[in-house]
Structure 1
Amino acid sequence: MSRSNNFKWPLLIALAVVLAAFAWLWFGFADRPLPNVHRDDSIVLDSGEGLGSVTEKLAAKDQLHGASWQWRLLGMQTGAAGKLKVGEYELEPGITPRQLLLNMRDGKIIVHKVTLVEGKTFRDFRRTLDANAVLKHNTKGLDDAAIMAKLGASGVHPEGRFLPDTYVFHRGDTDLDLMKHAMTAMTTALDEAWQSRAADVNLSSKDQLLTLASIVEKETGTPEERPEIAGLFLGRLKTGMRLQTDPTVIYGMGASYNGNITKADLLRDTPYNTYTRTGLPPTPIAMPGKAALQAAAQPASTDKVYFVAIGDGSGKHYFAKTYAEHQANVAKYIRTQRETNARRAAEAK
């Protein structure tokens, strides 16, 4: 064996040891799960922050392993160095430094959701947004008029102006951002419904269509009944018959409504009491969904002018052409409701 070979072997062995140690340090870091990560943990990267901020924030929650040089080297190796995107990132159990940096490089930020339910009011919508801990809150302390002004709709009553749907947003978005999105969606949906309205729909404006749709939304949750109820109310409007719909009375009662509506309430005049006033109320009374808008735009052709709940909890109604038929249906409603209540009481024993 030559003298040169005698020198090569120790050098090769030393190099192999160094490479093995480096590989252990590298792969034991880059692909080893971060410690102390729990479900629903996250990390937020703000504007101007980089890799150093990531390691600082992880260290503050005792979720960091590895040395600074390893994170810097991993950042270069993954192409994430200098390319981390602002946002909130999920720290699911088992996530590794490599996966976290790849997520930050690719902008795989957490998407949050909030749902506006059909038939809810603007007051309900505000409560939903106020209770959301992720949104930034820019509307607290503002009255409805001030909010609408900030949304670029000064002087517009807010009721019904926001489309019920599930909206996605990211941490850092504001409640006004989400309101603007929902208001734009309603404007589009209302325009589409108005353009598609039947020729015999006796409404003079999109606002009237929106108001009628809100009443239809409150009167039934049964999809197949919406066109029938819309047609019934349009028939009343044509003949000058009062709409006489309880949800409008309840809306006019405001905060004084306690869950019950009395005969005195029906007789107490407000701008929304359709028992004491003819025609549509001055504004929508809730936020109608697309199906209710479509029902108001394309109602069923009907000669029915009365309806009452069946009383079995199904949400369905009896419809009648004459008052005598309606009275018979009311009697059936009362009987069914009594039977239903009696059955529930017996089942509860």
Structure 2
Amino acid sequence: MRKKIFFILAACGAAILLAGAVVFFQFKGNAVRTESELFVSAQADYGQLADSLMPRIRHRAAFRFYARRIGLADSFKPGHYVLSRGMNVIRIARMLKLGLETPVRVTINNVRTPAQLAQKLSRQLDADSAALMQVFTSPEQAAKVGFDSVTFFSMFIPDSYEFYWTVSPEEFVRGMKREYERFWTPRRDSLRRRSGLSRLEVLTLASIVYEETRQSDEMPRVAGVYVNRLNRGIPLQADPTVKYAMQDFTLRRILYKHLRFPSPYNTYINRGLPPSPICMPGKNAIDAVLNFEKHDFIFFCARPEFDGYHNFARTLDEHMKNARAYSAELNRRNIR
């Protein structure tokens, strides 16, 4: 009888230990076999969160139990979360409850207008393009970071940055202001003072250079042409400013009728630089302006080889010769 009782008790103890081990494994064991990203929008409800999360984890019953215990349905935080291999359900639930987000890489480049910037950011952040655009066009928001509604766009330096996915448009602007100040190192500001240009003027000229050529090795020479024109009081006569003034970036050939388009951005009818950048210039273009090539060229024209480079000229006669060669090639290729 004693042996029987002993075996029963032993069996019960083993069952309890086994059940405890199972429960422990369910809550403390590896619930994530493959790392993945979980995006929880501020507009999402708990059902949507669960629908997105459950296919990515194991021990789902344990997660549901623990989530109910901590009231996760009413307290989860939106954000971008990384489900790392080896995470257990307790850690996952707490991560969502405490909002322990992982930043995302936000890349901005090849942008000409605030509307394009808002569209690009809306694909990388939880904010929608309308909310972003409202901030990007707000004189009050511009003033808070030391700009106005015209120059605000010049604050955004193209690069990849880390932000929380749920960052608000206002927080994003403040973050970009910090990045703007970080970009302007003492060395860059020293080079800028040598050129006699303000930060805004550097960025505006860089935007024209960036639209004229994407060849980094040619950018300092193109910048030098425009610096020469500015110093001599010659209109810049930059074709990209005409496209921007007309808001027609599909133009492949600038004709005489386009040159008279009335706009403060049209450098054929206005001397000096436009009021603000005509695009978001790459850092290579900005540094090219800061390190502009000193020469005596005042003209340049795309080469008829269509290789992305330009022919430079010191005199109008030389420039017209280059322009005729390029125009003839445009005609030959039937580019209108």
- The alpha carbon displacement at 1:325 in A equals 2.5
CA RMSD, Structure 1 to Structure 2 (Å): 4.2
For structure 1, the residue ranges without an aligned partner over 5 or more in a row are: 47-52, 76-83, 343-349
Counterpart for residue 180 of structure 1: 174
Contact 2:80 2:164 in 1 (8 A): yes
* Paired amino acid for 1:328: K
- The alpha carbon displacement at 1:4 in A equals 6.5
Counterpart for residue 246 of structure 1: 239
Counterpart for residue 161 of structure 2: 167
Aligned equivalent of 1:232, options 190, 214, 225: 225
> What TM-score, normalized to structure 2?
0.75
Q: Secondary structure at the match of 1:319?
A: strand
Contact 1:110 1:170 in 2 (8 A): yes
Counterpart for residue 12 of structure 2: 14
- The alpha carbon displacement at 1:319 in A equals 1.6
Q: Secondary structure at the match of 2:161?
A: strand
Q: Secondary structure at the match of 1:214?
A: helix
Counterpart for residue 327 of structure 1: 320
2:117 aligned with 1:122: no
Q: Secondary structure at the match of 1:66?
A: helix
Contact 1:311 1:333 in 2 (8 A): yes
* Paired amino acid for 2:266: N
Alignment of 1:86-97 (within 5 A): 87-90=79-82, 97=89
Counterpart for residue 203 of structure 2: 210
Alignment of 1:33-44 (within 5 A): 33=31, 41-43=38-40
- The alpha carbon displacement at 1:236 in A equals 1.4
For structure 2, the residue ranges without an aligned partner over 5 or more in a row are: 71-75
- The alpha carbon displacement at 1:214 in A equals 1.9
Counterpart for residue 134 of structure 1: 126
2:112 aligned with 1:112: no
24-33 or 241-250, which moves further after superposition?
Answer: 24-33
Contact 1:164 1:287 in 2 (8 A): yes
* Paired amino acid for 1:287: M
Contact 1:130 1:140 in 2 (8 A): no
Cα separation, partners in 2 of 1:133 and 1:190, compared to 1, 3 Å: closer
* Paired amino acid for 2:311: Y
> What TM-score, normalized to structure 1?
0.72
2:292 aligned with 1:299: yes
2:301 aligned with 1:308: yes
User: CA separation in 2, counterparts of 1:39 and 1:88?
Assistant: 11
- The alpha carbon displacement at 1:336 in A equals 4.8
Contact 1:227 1:298 in 2 (8 A): yes
Deviations 1:147-178 (A, max 9, x none): 42454534652232211112332232112222
Cα separation, partners in 2 of 1:274 and 1:54, compared to 1, 3 Å: closer
150-159 or 234-243, which moves further after superposition?
Answer: 150-159
Identity over aligned pairs, percent: 26
Counterpart for residue 157 of structure 1: 151
Cα separation, partners in 2 of 1:42 and 1:118, compared to 1, 3 Å: closer
User: CA separation in 2, counterparts of 1:44 and 1:113?
Assistant: 17
- The alpha carbon displacement at 1:18 in A equals 1.8
Contact 1:305 1:321 in 2 (8 A): yes
User: CA separation in 2, counterparts of 1:172 and 1:157?
Assistant: 26
* Paired amino acid for 1:168: E
Q: Secondary structure at the match of 1:274?
A: coil
- The alpha carbon displacement at 1:9 in A equals 4.0
User: CA separation in 2, counterparts of 1:228 and 1:158?
Assistant: 28
Cα separation, partners in 2 of 1:315 and 1:178, compared to 1, 3 Å: farther
Cα separation, partners in 2 of 1:130 and 1:102, compared to 1, 3 Å: closer
- The alpha carbon displacement at 1:19 in A equals 0.9
User: CA separation in 2, counterparts of 1:258 and 1:272?
Assistant: 17
Counterpart for residue 61 of structure 2: 66
Contact 2:78 2:166 in 1 (8 A): no
* Paired amino acid for 2:113: T
User: CA separation in 2, counterparts of 1:60 and 1:132?
Assistant: 18
How many aligned positions are there? 320
* Paired amino acid for 2:20: F
Counterpart for residue 81 of structure 1: none
